[in-house]
Chains A and B, each alone.
Chain A
Amino acid sequence: MSSDAVAIRLDRVTKRYRAGRSRTIVDLVSSVVDRARGREPDVYSAARGRIEAMVFALRDVSFDVSEGSGLGIIGPNGAGKTTLLKLISRVTWPTSGRVQVAGRVVSLIELGAGFHPELTGRENVYLGAGLFGLTRRDVDRRFDDIVRFAEVEPLIDMPMKRYSSGLYARLGFSVAIFSDPDIVLVDEVLAVGDASFRRRALDSLRRLIAEGKTVLFISHDMWNVRRLCDRIVWMDEGRVRASGPAADIAEQYMEQVNLRALANQQNVLQSHRGGTGEVRYTEVEIVDRSGRPTAIVPDGGPLTVRASYEASAPVAGPVFHVTIVDVDTGLAVATATSSRIDVPPVVEGRGVLECVFEPLLLRRRQYVLRMTITDALQLMSYDVINAGPRFAVARGGGSAAVAGSEHGDEDGFVALPFRFEHRARVLSS
């Protein structure tokens, strides 16, 4: 129900913070001296206006958010996402530029920030809603809805210090969304709470958008961002790096995140190393079709893992394992185990082994390789690398694309081939 009306407008917004130590009377005196000398004093600059002590949280940020739409804000930590929300909610003010807002804003920068642990849930509902500008009568009308949504009925008259942190957050969220906002700002708060609450919270945000409310949503979970928002603003180092339709920006962002994560991985083989050591991996890399090391694997494959090993003494019947582990969940997706045919019965000295997955039925996510070498009975480990090289499966194009990849956003790790069949059925009475 997105309309032409603008709910939020940022016009060349810059936000500077003073970094470093807290101010003391000494700073005050020196700033008074500065003022007397005719230098420009700044309420929140460091003493003597040292420019290096300033941190730019936002630089020249402009964008509009139309009423009744969901806008996702993504970007790495420290990109200025939370500062954006604080400016829009008037918690803080821009150093320069304009922030314009139409209607009542409710910010969920931290769930239940206004609650007091000594007060009961009931009292805190009134206190928290009051912080959002609601009167007692307003709350009375919504009280049952708030409590029901948060599922805290049995505990509502207990002091909140007895609540679990999940419950605390649930009540905080519930108070906020039932406080009749025009604009809701959500900052990565859905990470708390269990799966069922997260789903209901997302549903309720989607419903708000459908009702014509505006939702700004910060999250690192691209999945949720894309489900809730039609547009995304990608922040990086205080600037808008890209903005546009959610699917495009999310795709670009994930590609960048993958590249950066993979660029950062140096020789990780030294850490998290286990095993008895008779035979060890000396190098593990993922290579592309032309044999060059890579970290981006096209969906459909092939995924080629090239592992060099060295055996300090003759080892009989070693078994090599390559396990693909999902980075986000830590779940093993698939394991390849070498057989007697792949590896000579006794290994000694150096050797190289290649393991090829093709077709690669993996979704576009990030994975990490777990590399192990065991004895023939798999009772003893010679070498264990829990966190080997990482790789990302990305849009490969071409005919190798696997089922579902035309959407690119299906859930799960594995893209199994599937088809739907539909038959009309006559209902018998």
Chain B
Amino acid sequence: MTTTTAAPRVLTDHAAPIDPAAYLELLMNITRREVKGRYSQSLFGIGWAIAQPLAMMAVFTLVFARLANILSDVPYPVFAYAGLVPWFFFLNSVSSGTMSLVQYRNIVTKTYFPREIIPLAQVASRLLDLGAAATLVALLMAYYRIGLTRWALLVPALFVLLVAFTVAVTLLTSAVNVFYRDVSPVVQIGLQLWLYVTPIAYPMSKVPPQWRPWIAANPLSGVIEGLRSAVVYGREPDWSLLTISAVLTTIALVGSFTLFKQLDRYFADVI
């Protein structure tokens, strides 16, 4: 065995810093572990990632059949599905992320490593689902003969915003859930309601004006409306809505990460 440490070792009060490459690889490894655990011994595998928004799309299409033409200028299934894909990414990340630290109790109480990697891996593992579900958007658009415009170039930036907000919420709920297990059911109920205050089944433009500020205060509104304009409508997004979303996401992410790092030294004690 060879020693690679050349610098003299000094006593410190803090955990030894982790090599960024090792950090990234650990994140990827835990993500892989998560994905493999989820889809091993499953016949349909990644197909479930598509089935989930697809089923919801079918429900929405049936329920809103009469309203379809009022709600959207494009075929309603495409409209709904394009909103449901980012929504399910958020929903699944947050709901499994909330329990993640508790589920990884065994590692958390026995080895030291940056704890945020565990909820981050939950979000990362859902990126695969997001990718799979997103390919169906392309197929649906081809079927309905909807073309892409240059606004589609915004998609990566919007995904970044989506992931950032998802991470912010997941970090918060996973950390607090370590202390109060009530968080998980509260989150599940909250997510059910959240679906309806996000412009997924309906467009922002059909929201009564007096409610619009409330819906806009939901960072997912900007992201989902933005994605739909950029991809399905192929037009300029509502920049003011997007700006609100970006600002709130940044605040949420910074706040949530700070809180997480404050709390993480107590995780092993209370988990």
Contact = CB atoms under 8 A, between A and B. Distances in A.
Contacts of B110: 91, 107, 109-110, 113-114
B107 interface: yes
A32 interface: no
Given A130-B29, A135-B21, A90 B107 contact: no
Contacts of A110: 106, 110
B208 interface: no
B33 A98 contact: no
B37 A131 contact: no
Interface in A24-74: 24-25, 27-28, 43-44, 67
A127 to B, nearest CB: 5
Contacts of A101: 11-12, 16
Interface stretch (B2-10, B48-56, B76-84, B148-156): B2-10
A18 B270 contact: yes
B182 interface: yes
A5 interface: yes
B1 interface: yes
Nearest to B17: A133
A5 B9 contact: yes
A163 interface: no
Interface in B173-208: 179-182
B63 interface: no
A251 interface: no
B16 A127 contact: no
Nearest to B18: A133
Interface stretch (A115-123, A254-262, A365-373, A400-408): A115-123
A350 interface: no
Contacts of A44: 179, 266, 269-270
A326 interface: no
Given A101-B11, A102-B9, A133-B16, A23 B270 contact: yes
A102 B1 contact: no
A212 B9 CA distance: 12
B109 A118 contact: no
A17 interface: yes
A382 interface: no
Contacts of B180: 23-25, 27-28
Contacts of B37: 116, 118
B22 A98 contact: no
B26 interface: yes
B268 A92 contact: yes
Interface in B17-66: 18-19, 21-22, 25-26, 29-30, 32-33, 36-37, 40
Given A24-B180, A130-B26, A180-B1, A18 B113 contact: no
B36 A22 contact: no
Given A91-B110, A180-B1, A18 B9 contact: no
Contact of B11 (A90, A102, A104, A131): A102
16 contacts: A5-B9, A7-B9, A86-B268, A91-B112, A91-B268, A92-B268, A105-B16, A109-B110, A118-B36, A127-B33, A133-B26, A180-B2, A180-B3, A180-B5, A211-B3, A212-B3
Interface of B: 1-5, 9-16, 18-19, 21-22, 25-26, 29-30, 32-33, 36-37, 40, 106-113, 179-182, 263, 265-266, 268-270
